[in-house]
Structure 1
Amino acid sequence: MGAAEELVNQIVLQNDVIDDENYLACLPDEAKKILKSLASKWENVLDANALEVIPLKGAMTNEVFQIKWQTKEGEMSRKVLVRIYGEGTDIFFDRDNEIRTFAFISKNGQGPRLLGRFAQGRLEEFIRARTLSAPDIRDPSISALIASKMKEFHDLDMPGSKNVYLWDRLRNWLIEARRLSSPEEIETFRLDIMDKEISFLENELSVSPERIGFCHNDLQYGNIMLDEVTDSLTIIDYEYASYNPIAYDIANHFTEMAANYHTETPHVLDFTKYPHLEERRRFVQTYLSSSGEKASDNEVQQLVDEVEKYTLASHLLWGLWGIISEHVNKIDFDYKEYAEQRFQEYWSKKNNLLSHDRSSNDNVSLGNGQETLASTLNEKRGKSHRISKKLKKYLGLGFFRSKR
């Protein structure tokens, strides 16, 4: 689940104030050494040791900081981005593969430059553009830019395997979710039958021919930056990127419209904000026509239908992500409740979206499954949840109230 200056928010702990020394203390020594080495080579920086550290709100996988230095009068300040990998997040992706992807995309002019690496993270070029907000991705003009940029991204000829990774990722994350979860959690989230759901979905959705492309797989608003001077977009953060059906990537983007990660309750999803049919058709039309040849109505409708079905896979994937993150990540975000909402949406939409009424063995019917899950989960919310959140904040278990 951005790096724009207007989304920079100070960390809020008990007294709502933390001095610059404490911000600086968040950075590993190795990172500070690289930062000072970089700044010492820039002639317009007044003091390479006098770096300002500003945490960026909205991160849910990593901790992200903007670093800036004072420069000579009249010159633009120097800035870089530091990304510190979240604890336990190597479960989700191969960091070496992510760096190779980052370097390739940067070389092809599609993203920020890699400025350095350290054991717990990396340094990136700071892009002087604004990160999109939640309402932005519903704006027709910006949505059209996103559709065209997504097509450009999908067409990248990334070195390495071009096999679909979605289904392996789902199965791998399910294994981890089961390993980390208590018997009660396994029962509540129905993880004991989830392998059958994944196989069922794979069988239903893997139709031939299927368009495969290099997908971002996490195209939420915070991972898209807009240069308002040139009206150009940059897609950032490639941790989850891999080859997948393009319908899945578009579906995932649509489901992210239900989220706003810069509120007091960033985990809460509002699926009434899911794009309506005309919005979805307009996006797909722009996507398919961005190469120059206008897509036919049949082509548009076919992809719109495929996208709708792949929203189910998105709900399962991020539901599993939420369960795992609840156990391994200390960032202050209610991962468990986020997972609850994703799974509920899966069960409530499953039968309506699939072409015929089939289910894997041992699965409960749509109505019973959705009602059972919802009632079980809702019983666990309320007062105990509020107490838990207060304890978290009191004990300082997370600097960020913030899928990035």
Structure 2
Amino acid sequence: MPDSERKPLDSCSLADSIDLESRAVTAECHLPHLIKNENVVDFRGQAFAWVKKYMGGPWSRAEMKHFRCKGMRGDLTNYLYICKLILWDGENDGLKILKSEAGYPTKITLKVYGEIESYMGFNKVEMMTLNVILAERHYIPRIFAIFPDGRFEQYEKSRQLRAAEIRKADVTNHLADYLAEYHKMDMPFGKTAGRLEETLDHYHAMALSTHFEDEAKSKLLRKIVRYNIDEELETLKEICFPCHDEVVFCHNNLGEGNLLLTGHKDDRRVQVVGCDMSSYNYRSYDFGHFFATMQFDFGTPNFPYFKRDRSFIPSEETRRDMVVRYVRRLDLPLAQQKVTEEKIMEYSEKFILAAHFLHGCWGIVQADVSELQFGYLEYALACFQAYFEHKILNNL
């Protein structure tokens, strides 16, 4: 795109057309299919035990009658809840206690780690360290407490951005700016890109060893396996690796489920969450991952709780606009900007395949281990279909 046609680098402000109060997908809501334990009373007791042990202050002195816990949607790996400490009347005047300890919030988010993290030998120490650093640098909400099963975070009223909204220029501009800053971070982790290939290998091996007693699931799995995913991984590696892209600290999970709209009517803000999988990686993978997920809508109310809309597949113009803005935020010499743009466009197109393949294998494993009621196998099938369509259409 000639320089004269590029969009100006104006600051991002979300238009009124994106409404926090709309019926799109409200983050805080009753969704039984996303509750970890069918016996909500039992889980409420577990959550209450956690807040009393780890939150301190008025939370530690509260009784069960003062505690509320409600499920949230938005994460397909972990379990999210809103925990609330209600004001109460009594001999000790709970209202006065809470006012005297202003440092303690009365409404927080509880994140409980999903089953798949223990199955893949997830490094919780590294993830906890990562999140503490990101919270201190204001990339994610403030963390109040971390414990082996999850963490308590600052609660903000929000809702997920929908697939149609993510395509808006003000959102993609914001994400380009976000990645330009995120990729500059220096973090105390291995500064190589080997984790992407390792993660592909790991989920691929787990997916191929997965079996289902349920006949309907077995039939769907057989349909997926017929795509010859056993041997396809080596083909994918030949397409994507070796890669001569720059290695930076990547988000690795940029997509609809991790993009929230927060703030008030006159102060809309996009909050990027889901940073748990962040690591050093090839820069273009963040773009490839985002472009791959744009065609999926996770806001549907009925099973399988998602749909794939091919009309949402981003055009080359849409992708290039985001890449151009990102590159210009890097303050590179003018002669280097065009080279960097073309490199990201080339590699991100290949990494779209890697994201589809990884999500497909992940979906198979999640269908086996997760208690969340989501169409993981249906999603896996859709990802592999998207993988081969993209591969054929782009002669990869």
Aligned: 1:334 with 2:375: yes
For residue 232 of structure 1, report the CA deviation from its aligned partner.
4.5
Relative to structure 1, the CA distance from residue 212 to residue 263 in structure 2 (aligned partners, 3 Å threshold; closer, same or farther) is: same
Match of 1:213 in 2: 248
5+ residue gaps in structure 2?
1-19, 88-94, 213-217
For residue 190 of structure 1, report the CA deviation from its aligned partner.
3.4
Relative to structure 1, the CA distance from residue 179 to residue 191 in structure 2 (aligned partners, 3 Å threshold; closer, same or farther) is: farther
Aligned: 1:262 with 2:278: no
Relative to structure 1, the CA distance from residue 22 to residue 204 in structure 2 (aligned partners, 3 Å threshold; closer, same or farther) is: closer
SS in 1 for 2:322: helix
- Distance across 1 between alignment mates of 2:176 and 2:286: 11
Relative to structure 1, the CA distance from residue 10 to residue 186 in structure 2 (aligned partners, 3 Å threshold; closer, same or farther) is: closer
1:167/1:198 contact within 8 Å kept: no
SS in 2 for 1:189: helix
Letter in 2 for 1:120: D
Match of 1:114 in 2: 143
Letter in 2 for 1:172: H
For residue 111 of structure 1, report the CA deviation from its aligned partner.
1.2
Counterpart mapping for 1:266-305 below 5 A: 266-293=305-332, 296-305=337-346
Q: In structure 2, which of residues 51, 55, 60 is the aligned counterpart of residue 35 of structure 1? A: 51
Q: In structure 2, which of residues 123, 128, 132 is the aligned counterpart of residue 103 of structure 1? A: 132
Letter in 2 for 1:144: N
Number of equivalent positions: 345
5+ residue gaps in structure 1?
356-404
Letter in 1 for 2:186: D
Question: Where do 4+ consecutive residues of structure 1 move more than 6 Å?
Answer: 182-186
Q: In structure 2, which of residues 247, 257, 277 is the aligned counterpart of residue 222 of structure 1? A: 257
Match of 1:320 in 2: 361
- Normalised by the length of structure 2, the TM-score is 0.76
- Distance across 2 between alignment mates of 1:193 and 1:330: 28
Counterpart mapping for 1:184-223 below 5 A: 188-190=223-225, 194=229, 196-207=231-242, 209-223=244-258
Letter in 2 for 1:349: H
Counterpart mapping for 1:37-56 below 5 A: 41=57, 49=64, 50-56=66-72
Relative to structure 1, the CA distance from residue 316 to residue 163 in structure 2 (aligned partners, 3 Å threshold; closer, same or farther) is: same
For residue 115 of structure 1, report the CA deviation from its aligned partner.
2.0
Match of 2:84 in 1: 68
User: In the TM superposition, what whole-angstrom CA distance separates every residue of 1:235-278 from its partner, at most 9, and x where no partner exists?
Assistant: 22223222221211111111221222221242322232111222
Letter in 2 for 1:90: S
1:62/1:83 contact within 8 Å kept: yes
Relative to structure 1, the CA distance from residue 123 to residue 243 in structure 2 (aligned partners, 3 Å threshold; closer, same or farther) is: same
- Distance across 2 between alignment mates of 1:347 and 1:33: 47
| Larger displacement relative to structure 2 (104-113 or 285-294) | 285-294
For residue 224 of structure 1, report the CA deviation from its aligned partner.
2.4
- Distance across 2 between alignment mates of 1:290 and 1:348: 32
| Larger displacement relative to structure 2 (145-154 or 237-246) | 237-246
Match of 1:158 in 2: 187
Letter in 1 for 2:85: W
Aligned: 1:247 with 2:284: yes
Relative to structure 1, the CA distance from residue 131 to residue 188 in structure 2 (aligned partners, 3 Å threshold; closer, same or farther) is: closer
For residue 335 of structure 1, report the CA deviation from its aligned partner.
0.7
Match of 1:9 in 2: 29
For residue 40 of structure 1, report the CA deviation from its aligned partner.
5.9
Match of 1:90 in 2: 118
User: In the TM superposition, what whole-angstrom CA distance separates every residue of 1:127-182 from its partner, at most 9, and x where no partner exists?
Assistant: 35554333321111121111111222222212121221111111111111122236
Q: In structure 1, which of residues 230, 236, 239 is the aligned counterpart of residue 273 of structure 2? A: 236
1:284/1:304 contact within 8 Å kept: yes
- Normalised by the length of structure 1, the TM-score is 0.74
Letter in 2 for 1:282: D
For residue 351 of structure 1, report the CA deviation from its aligned partner.
3.5
For residue 94 of structure 1, report the CA deviation from its aligned partner.
2.6
Relative to structure 1, the CA distance from residue 191 to residue 82 in structure 2 (aligned partners, 3 Å threshold; closer, same or farther) is: farther
Letter in 2 for 1:59: D
- Distance across 2 between alignment mates of 1:168 and 1:190: 21
Relative to structure 1, the CA distance from residue 217 to residue 184 in structure 2 (aligned partners, 3 Å threshold; closer, same or farther) is: same
- Distance across 2 between alignment mates of 1:236 and 1:166: 20
- Distance across 2 between alignment mates of 1:125 and 1:343: 36
Match of 1:400 in 2: none
Relative to structure 1, the CA distance from residue 155 to residue 191 in structure 2 (aligned partners, 3 Å threshold; closer, same or farther) is: farther
1:309/1:354 contact within 8 Å kept: no
For residue 285 of structure 1, report the CA deviation from its aligned partner.
1.0
